[in-house]
A = this chain, B = another copy of it.
Amino acid sequence: MTLNNTFTALSDPTRRKILQLLKKKDLPVNEIAVNFEITLPSLSHHLTTLKNANLVSTQRMGQQIIYSLNLSVFEEIAEELYNFFNKNKAKKL
């Protein structure tokens, strides 16, 4: 299920920080890395999680792989979440 991947991806502080960085501009892995104290393989693992959740996309530029936010997907998620909770107002028991 897609929502699973999305929320799981968002439930980790490291990954949310990555997203915040990418919000400002697209970045290659090594520039993302300077913001964290974890190893490159660990970072790579988080990036894969974000990619599987379709929250980021990649593009090779020579030796580097540039990560960027999938903004359209985020809009969908926010909307989905909004609808999830605001359609069919809750009735008291």
Which residues of A come within 8 Å of B, CB atoms?
1, 3-4, 7-8, 10-13, 16, 19-20, 22-27, 66, 68-69, 71, 74-75, 77-78, 81-82, 84-86, 88-93
Most-contacted residue by chain B among A12, A75, A78, A91 (CB, 10 A)? A78
Q: Out of B12, B71, B84, B93, which one reaches A85, CB within 8 Å?
A: B71
Each complex incorporates copies of this chain amounting to: 2
Query: Contact between A23 and B78 (Cβ–Cβ < 8 Å)?
Result: no
Q: Which of B24, B74, B81 makes the CB contact (< 8 A) with A86?
A: B74
Q: Which 4 pairs, one residue from A and one from B, show the smallest C-beta to C-beta distance?
A: A74-B85, A7-B11, A26-B93, A78-B82
Given A11-B11, A78-B81, A81-B78, CB of A25 within 8 Å of CB of B69: no
